[in-house]
Structure 1
Amino acid sequence: MHGLRRCLPWALLAATAHAAHAAHAQTQGAPLRIHVRGSAQIEAVAWTEPDGFVVRGSVVDDARSAIAEAPLSIDALTSAGAPAVLPAVDGCAADGTARAREPRPSQGGYVIATDERGGFCLRGRAPLADATLRIRFAGGKLYDAVEAKIPIEAHAAPLAPVILRFDPPVDAVDLDRPTVNVTVALRLDRSGARGVGSGAPFERERLPVVLEDERGARLAEAPTGGDGRARFELPTERLDGAGQGVLRARFDGTATLAKASVSQSVVRYAQVTLDLSHPVEPARAEDGVPIDVEVRSSRGPVEGGVVEALRAGEPVGAATVIGGKARVIAAFTAERAGTVPISLRYVPASPWWIPGAELAIDVPVAGPGAWRQIALGAAVLAIAGWVLGGWRRAPKRAATTRAGDERPVAPPGRAGVRVMGPLEGATGWRGAVADAHDGTPIARAELVIVVPAFDGSGVIARALTDDVGEFSIEAPYRSDARLVVRAPTHSSHEQALPSPSKLGIALVTRRRAVLDRLVRWARRQGAPFEGPPEPTPGHVRRVASRVQQREVELWASRIEHAAFGPDPVDERIEQDLGASEPKPGASPLAP
């Protein structure tokens, strides 16, 4: 595994929970609407100056992304906890590049909105000693409320504001590498250093910077060099396991420099390897061959995802990974005893698990037993007798089975209609509709058969799936007819209508559909939008921002919100995202 892998940000946990609840609701025959709100965090420092005080900080969400335009209320408390009177204040730039936001009075304090980087800054016109500032964010539709109490630290002289930056940003960490290089740049905000040092230069060398993670664990400490950068060669073994996390750099200040901190959302990923738990025991292929698989990474057992068994590239079995183990039942047809080559591959459910190489194994299969041979012979004789005697009796409609009685097949991973078998003498279609990726039955899916029509809808038959995703639809077969399948949370699928038969229909969720659209678009564009291991909305958004393609940046942001946000993606949103897909143009590096 080489190179930087871009991974999805961690609203996916909320999206996964949302999808699970939606699937449960479908099986109960009633839609369930849930709202997932993220948490917010206020990071701030405050200190006195001879002629006033300064408070500056930022507001970020649980993925460590800036929350812009967040209204904050700020008041003061004495050491005894009683309300303190705040002097008049002015707005100041949260860092050297942002525009200052002006506060407005409100109920004994002030209200100020964060800037586009999620930062805020206030400068008091008079000292405020022995007090604590209370900063509150009321939250909203997407975020919970949060409050922080920031003590005002006393200093004899004005402090120069300090800004920390990860340079370059570290948004992905390969846990299979022994170390990861992290560089933190420390810069003095001279625009905010009012009356500090009488114009004397500040020394940026040998200033200690501490690196921490989301647990608050101290990972490393390094001094800044002459260029104001602290460089870390961080052992990955000190980091937590695969998943979403945070890197936080902290500078505790000096007698002349203010405290500062910066947080960076990261995804720690690891490669997944497969191995057999024990040799495969011979079994009849038609009955299914059990294959016990160990699913591990460099950090131990893997949780979640699916192990899929393939024969000649076609799926023949799949099983969910629980506690680093999966038991796959591979079912296929084998004419004689011997060994059959099977490939096992890992299909991740989370972006921090990277599939490794497929595991190739030879599966021993047993031939049909004596009783089965006798049964097969009897079946052949019975069929022959039925054919010979058929002219003496009226045709009898063939018996059919419910779709749920068919042998399960592995989810195909894409939308489509699979003909599972004939329905002799039938004029209609029976089968089941399921999710293309996890095989979950889709209840209340609508199947419509349409034919060309000069007026009207052209609909000649319509049916809904039941609580276990099964359907039955009757209509005369026409070669020009089309089958349209729709579901509340899944993208619609349309294709030519097969002849009357048993059908297995797979649909892709709209969240996956909009993500797939972005991936296809980025691959058509090529570098730098096509990032390894595959493009993500966050990667495309950052690249578009860097090359100043505003239309692409907004589109990627909308797809990111649709795919991982708290609200369901309906057909209107999916169509709107498709219609607003950026058109191919000049090279993305063009000015």
Structure 2
Amino acid sequence: MRPVSFNRVLARALVATMCACAVGEGTAHADPLRIRVRGGARIEARATRAGGELVLSGALLDDMTQPLPNQPVEVLFRPEAATQLADVSAAVRGARLCVNGGSTAATSDGEKLRVMTDERGTFCVRAALPLDRHRALLTWGGDSLVEGTKLELPFDLSRRSVALRFDPAIFVVKLDAPSVRVEVAALVEETEGPTAAPSLPITLTTESGTALGRATTDRSGRARFTVESARLGGAGPGELRAAFPGDVDNAFASSVTAIERHARVTLRAPAAEKGLSPQSPEDGVAVDIDATGAGGIVGSGGVEAYVGESLVGAAPVERGLARLVMTFNAPAGQSTVRVRYVSTAPWYEPGPELSFTVPVRGPSVWSKVPLFAAAIGVIAWFVAARVRRREAPDAEEKADELVRASEGRARVDVVAPPSRGERGWSGAVLDAHDGAPIDKTRVWIERPGFEGTVELASATTDERGRFRLEPVELRGGERLCAEARLHSRLEQDVPSPGRLSVTLVARRRQVIARLVAWARRAGKPFDSKPEPTPAHVRRAARDDEAVARWADAVERAAYQPGEVDARKEAEIERLLPDSAEKPSRPVDRH
């Protein structure tokens, strides 16, 4: 069973449109819409007392928890007692770097302290502030790529310093599990070193302030929580916050950890559960698909419908609903449809496929009238012509089959030999994943030589992805190249003249594919089932900053708004580890 080629392309184009985060090009009457996206940042800091002094330490991180090295963080101290301003100013002028922690330099004008983060994005300074209550305002001004940030940190040097940390660290919370175990360790930090802090009441909340529980630290200084997953909120990024309110002997303390809440997506077709009425799939079968996950309805991604191995429909998921329309050819009877969820965010994980049957009604007699008329015309043509050679397979149909056969890879295939009297190369450029035509693609033939590369012929595709290259003399070694603004460059030996099908891979997909391929070759801990993700590779990298920085850049390109063009792809490729496969030629040629 094979769906109509046009409907297949239309369905795939819909998936590409709904899943893409890139901003589309402008029309011929308007400049292209340009959106400049800046990342976020945050400051993590804590104030402790050691040897009768303040020890202020912390880190400057971007919104993907990656360090921001060699950046100036300004600190302004404000004592609770105004009479201590002069003493605070003197302490700030005498501030110095910690012996064993962060920072590369610290300067002061008597009011503000300016400290530089080290290569790990951390900082640490000591200052002999009065042993009383204070507030520190930490500020980073940002740069061209990341927004600035501020943090107000209250602390009390008149009491013992308490430090809280999540142990073990938590990165991903599975909402499909009935509950989640969280442990918080509390330590009292003094000159003699940190010691366990027993009998301290610890509260646990989310970033929205939802109370998750209260526990008291045991003799080992650990507070244990069992949290119902339903209370953590919906799928997506979030935070867990632990806090100690302070008491007579110990200063208040808090700790925050960034998490991702993951949920498996479940699909339902209520109308199919009740039984669909017989329909003609050639006219389109409409079915509403409900998408839900632990923590609420699903707000992103899409669904794809298959009959056999053929894609017959696709639709975006909006507010937990996908309005799916399927179009395919099938004889009267019943057809089994499989629907799967396609995720566009790491926190939505595809669940099991949904399967249901569609009663197929045979087409009416009247629908056959155009077919009968066409048949009569064909017979008349045969009689008039008497003899006709067997025609080659339809080029568009063959190109459609080649897109499926490409398995998401960039390639060039000869669809058909040149027509009588034609010379050179013609054809269409299509997306390797959804089969949609790619307009404004540059296609050219070049010949490498000792003095450089010579371009022999070139063309640009129209709105239907079509192009035509004039015939050129081939001496051997010539290459056929193609590249679009949002699709990676392809190079291949020039094929024989004729109709061509050229498939290109979107740059957004290409950077992910290179990371996945590298993780597969590298093996554990970078490889994972069913497929390694940028977030997994970044966590597995641990102390390998080069790999972590590359995985972070790939994740930004894959999941954040903004176009992945040649310049952006080149920036990511420059971060490739030495063990990763580099592109054979620059990707930003034009």
Superposition TM-score, scaled by structure 1 size:
0.76
| Cα distance, 1:410–1:209 mapped onto 2, change above 3 Å | farther
Match 2:336 to one of 313, 337, 341 = 341
248-257 vs 413-422, which deviates more?
413-422
Residue 54 of structure 1 contacts residue 121 of structure 1 at CA under 8 Å; is this kept in 2?
A: yes
2:50 and 2:545 mapped to 1: Cα distance? 41
For residue 154 of structure 1, report the CA deviation from its aligned partner.
6.3
Match runs of 1:334-483 below 5 Å: 334=330, 336-390=331-385, 414-416=408-410, 427=422, 429-431=426-428, 433-434=430-431, 436=433, 442-449=438-445, 461-466=457-462, 468=463, 470-475=465-470, 483=480
The residue type paired with residue 181 of structure 2 is N
Match 1:142 to one of 142, 145, 158 = 145
Match of 1:3 in 2: none
| Cα distance, 1:384–1:76 mapped onto 2, change above 3 Å | same
| Cα distance, 1:235–1:306 mapped onto 2, change above 3 Å | same
2:304 and 2:281 mapped to 1: Cα distance? 16
1:19 and 1:542 mapped to 2: Cα distance? 25
| Cα distance, 1:212–1:128 mapped onto 2, change above 3 Å | same
* Identity within the alignment, %: 33
Match of 2:505 in 1: 508
Residue 22 of structure 1 contacts residue 31 of structure 1 at CA under 8 Å; is this kept in 2?
A: no
For residue 243 of structure 1, report the CA deviation from its aligned partner.
0.8
For residue 61 of structure 1, report the CA deviation from its aligned partner.
3.7
User: Is the counterpart of residue 109 in structure 1 residue 90 in structure 2?
Assistant: no
User: Is the counterpart of residue 294 in structure 1 residue 290 in structure 2?
Assistant: yes
Match of 1:526 in 2: 523
Match 1:90 to one of 78, 92, 95 = 95
Residue 214 of structure 1 contacts residue 248 of structure 1 at CA under 8 Å; is this kept in 2?
A: yes
| Cα distance, 1:245–1:530 mapped onto 2, change above 3 Å | same
| Cα distance, 1:169–1:298 mapped onto 2, change above 3 Å | same
1:47 and 1:200 mapped to 2: Cα distance? 12
Aligned alpha-carbon RMSD (Å): 4.5
User: Is the counterpart of residue 241 in structure 1 residue 238 in structure 2?
Assistant: no
SS in 2 for 1:389: helix
1:242-293 deviation line (CA, Å, top 9, x unaligned): 1111122223334443433332221111111222131344333333333332
The residue type paired with residue 211 of structure 1 is L
Residue 316 of structure 1 contacts residue 410 of structure 1 at CA under 8 Å; is this kept in 2?
A: no
2:364 and 2:563 mapped to 1: Cα distance? 55
Match of 1:581 in 2: 579
| Cα distance, 1:569–1:226 mapped onto 2, change above 3 Å | farther
For residue 483 of structure 1, report the CA deviation from its aligned partner.
4.8
1:64 and 1:484 mapped to 2: Cα distance? 39
Residue 538 of structure 1 contacts residue 557 of structure 1 at CA under 8 Å; is this kept in 2?
A: yes
Match runs of 1:536-547 below 5 Å: 536-545=533-542
1:563 and 1:375 mapped to 2: Cα distance? 47
The residue type paired with residue 259 of structure 2 is V
| Cα distance, 1:478–1:363 mapped onto 2, change above 3 Å | farther
1:507-555 deviation line (CA, Å, top 9, x unaligned): 333232122222122223333222344322332233232xx65664555
Residue 186 of structure 1 contacts residue 228 of structure 1 at CA under 8 Å; is this kept in 2?
A: yes
2:27 and 2:411 mapped to 1: Cα distance? 20
SS in 2 for 1:231: strand
Match of 1:23 in 2: 24
User: Is the counterpart of residue 205 in structure 1 residue 214 in structure 2?
Assistant: no
| Cα distance, 1:218–1:209 mapped onto 2, change above 3 Å | same
| Cα distance, 1:344–1:27 mapped onto 2, change above 3 Å | farther
For residue 138 of structure 1, report the CA deviation from its aligned partner.
1.2
For residue 18 of structure 1, report the CA deviation from its aligned partner.
12
Match 1:305 to one of 301, 307, 315 = 301
2:406 and 2:316 mapped to 1: Cα distance? 15
1:455 and 1:515 mapped to 2: Cα distance? 35
| Cα distance, 1:483–1:377 mapped onto 2, change above 3 Å | farther
| Cα distance, 1:420–1:84 mapped onto 2, change above 3 Å | farther
The runs of 5 or more residues in structure 1 that have no matched partner are: 1-15, 584-591
Superposition TM-score, scaled by structure 2 size:
0.77
2:313 and 2:496 mapped to 1: Cα distance? 25
Match of 1:587 in 2: none
1:535-590 deviation line (CA, Å, top 9, x unaligned): 22332233232xx656645554554465567784535346545673359xxxxxxx
2:51 and 2:268 mapped to 1: Cα distance? 68
Match of 1:176 in 2: 176
1:47 and 1:147 mapped to 2: Cα distance? 20
1:195-232 deviation line (CA, Å, top 9, x unaligned): xxxx6996621212222222232222222222222211
Residue 156 of structure 2 contacts residue 251 of structure 2 at CA under 8 Å; is this kept in 1?
A: no
Match runs of 1:61-80 below 5 Å: 61-64=62-65, 66-77=67-78
| Cα distance, 1:151–1:181 mapped onto 2, change above 3 Å | closer
| Cα distance, 1:455–1:473 mapped onto 2, change above 3 Å | farther
Residue 84 of structure 1 contacts residue 131 of structure 1 at CA under 8 Å; is this kept in 2?
A: no
1:27 and 1:255 mapped to 2: Cα distance? 71
Residue 103 of structure 2 contacts residue 115 of structure 2 at CA under 8 Å; is this kept in 1?
A: no
The residue type paired with residue 527 of structure 1 is K
Match of 1:221 in 2: 214
SS in 2 for 1:226: coil
The residue type paired with residue 236 of structure 1 is S
